[in-house]
Amino acid sequence: MRLLPLFLVSSLLHAWIGWRISSELLNWPAGTILLWGMLCLSALLMPMALLARRASRMSLLLAWGGALAMGLFSTLLVLSVLRDALLFLAWGISVLLAPESAWFDGLRHWSALAVLAAGLLASAWGLWNARRTARVVRVDVPIVGLPAALHGFTVAQISDIHVGSTIRQGYIERIVERVNALGVDMVAITGDLVDGSVADLQRHVAPVAGLKSRHGSFFVTGNHEYYSGANAWITELRRLGVTVLMNEHVVLRHDSDLQPDGANLVVAGVADFSAHHFDEDHRSDPVAALLGAPAAGIRLLLAHQPRSAQVASDAGFDLQLSGHTHGGQFWPWMHFVKFQQPFTAGLHRLEKLWVYTHRGTGYWGPPKRFGAPSEITQLRLVTA
């Protein structure tokens, strides 16, 4: 019964898109039939995808169908709204300047076709972008007073993979292979690794154990871990050899040819910004994460959400690595992230703190990335 409102809302919105576009396809009956058939299937699949259970082949097919439909529907809805705004403006101009002109009828027809074509092309391109293995993005982070031993220290950051119905073992194996080819000093996994229980996804996450770096792999929880059984995943990741940091830190002693005796690097991690809504013991606390830390050449914080940045800056961290935003994942949502997070993507400065916001190595929901490519980030610490 809880799905009934979803079916109703989905049907109404799909019907509105069909009503606004199909009237311009009356001279093409086959096109009208295809459009309504596609919209009816999409309206059905989107809510049905919520019922999918990962254990059955049919459920996986439903999940895939619903996710693809969600991506196409989202773009068609946005474009249809923009088209109506354009037509309203054009209608006003035609009434004032050219009431006898036929150009407005032409605009209505061709803009309807443009919405369909753009929606399909953007979804196809977005699917290819989402399913390919993320490219490596290289970023230098200048740190004032960085010890010589830490100049050139490299971190591979992966984030927001969302292993689940459409992201499985093979996808993770390709990410691990690409990260290992970088030969970095440490790997940071900044949350939202999974969308599902350990029982459902254990074998699909297992390749994470194969990540290789000089100092190992470090993980912090994201909000989706709390939807999926955070404590069970913390135990599982530790079993796989990943260091999980829960409002705590470790000290890495790193040496180089420039400074053979080495220098300290503090790597701290906090639970997700919203973790206390699920478990009060997991309340995110950058200050607590740094308690007892020795003097170090750099203090690095792993925090899933960029919203941790202000407290991290006040606590005295030099660099924060975050994810969560997906960079918006696909147009036009990247323009709305800033209303919920201080940073959308890339390297930014907050007082004395550098914040790198990762666009995500996978995707959530629709297998679609358009205007916000996925990434595996290689960050290199350099002397400012």
Q: Is the pLDDT of residue 311 over 80?
A: yes
pLDDT at 154 over 90: yes
Domain boundaries, the chain: 3-131, 135-383
Q: If you average pLDDT over residues 319-336, what whole number do you get? A: 95
Residues 162-189 have a mean pLDDT of 97
Instruction: Give yes or no for residue 51 having a pLDDT over 80.
Output: no
Predicted confidence at residue 241, as pLDDT, reads 97
Directed axis angle between helix 29-48 and helix 57-97, to 10°? 130
pLDDT for 344 beyond 80:
yes
Q: What percent of the chain has pLDDT over 70?
A: 96
Using pLDDT thresholds of 50, 70 and 90, give the confidence band for residue 1: very low
In the three-class reduction of DSSP (H, G, I as helix; E, B as strand; rest coil), residue 225 is classed as helix
Q: Which helix (H) or strand (E) holds 38?
A: helix 29-48
Strand 259-269: give its sheet, edge to edge.
248-256, 259-269, 298-302, 319-322, 353-357, 346-350
Q: Rounded distance, CA 43 to CA 39, Å?
A: 6
pLDDT attached to residue 56? 64
**Is residue 99 pLDDT above 70, yes or no?**
no
Which stretch of DSSP H or E encloses residue 143? strand 135-143
pLDDT (tens digit per residue) in 186-206: 999 999 999 999 999 999 999
Predicted confidence (pLDDT) at residue 310 exceeds the cutoff of 80: yes
**What does the pLDDT read at residue 253?**
95
Is residue 52 scored above 70 in pLDDT? no
CA distance linking residue 239 with residue 196, whole number of Å = 18
**Rama region for 242: left / alpha / beta (φ>0; ψ in -120 to 50; rest):** beta
3-state SS assignment for residue 314: helix
Q: What is the mean pLDDT of the chain?
A: 92
Answer whether 199's CB lies under 8 Å from 229's CB: no
Who's near 331: CB < 8 A, 6+ residues apart? 75, 122, 370, 371, 372
What's the pLDDT band for 12 if we cut at 50, 70, 90? very high
Q: What is the pLDDT of residue 259?
A: 83
Tell me the pLDDT band of 25, cut-offs 50, 70 and 90.
Answer: confident
What's the pLDDT tens digit per position in 262-300? 899 999 999 999 999 999 999 999 999 999 999 999 999
Q: What is the pLDDT of residue 104?
A: 80
Residue 68 above 90 pLDDT?
yes
Domain 135-383: CATH superfamily is Metallo-dependent phosphatases (3.60.21.10)
Q: What pLDDT score was predicted for residue 226? A: 97
pLDDT tens readout for residues 218-256: 999 999 999 999 999 999 999 999 999 999 999 999 998
Distance (Å, rounded) from C-alpha 172 to C-alpha 256?
Answer: 31
Cα–Cα nearest to 258, from 150, 155, 184: 150
pLDDT in tens, 349-367: 999 999 999 999 999 999 9
Q: Does the pLDDT at position 27 exceed 90?
A: no
Structure tokens at 30: 């086959």
Those residues with Cβ within 8 angstroms of residue 49's Cβ, 6 or more apart along the chain or in another chain: 62, 63, 65, 66, 67, 69, 70, 165
> Which string of DSSP letters, residue by residue, matches 76-125?
HHHHHHHHHHHHHHHHHHHHHH-TT-SHHHHHHHHHHHHHHHHHHHHHHH
Q: Is the pLDDT of residue 53 over 60?
A: no
Instruction: Judge whether 225 and 194 are in contact, CB under 8 Å.
Output: yes
Query: What kind and span of H or E run contains 348?
Result: strand 346-350
Low-confidence winner among 28-37, 126-135, 287-296 (lowest mean pLDDT):
28-37
Beta partners for residue 266, in sequence order = 251, 299
| 374: CB partners within 8 A, 6+ apart | 129, 130, 132, 134, 135, 359, 360, 361, 362, 363
Determine the 3-state secondary structure of 296 from DSSP.
coil
Sign of CA dihedral 279, 291, 268, 344: positive
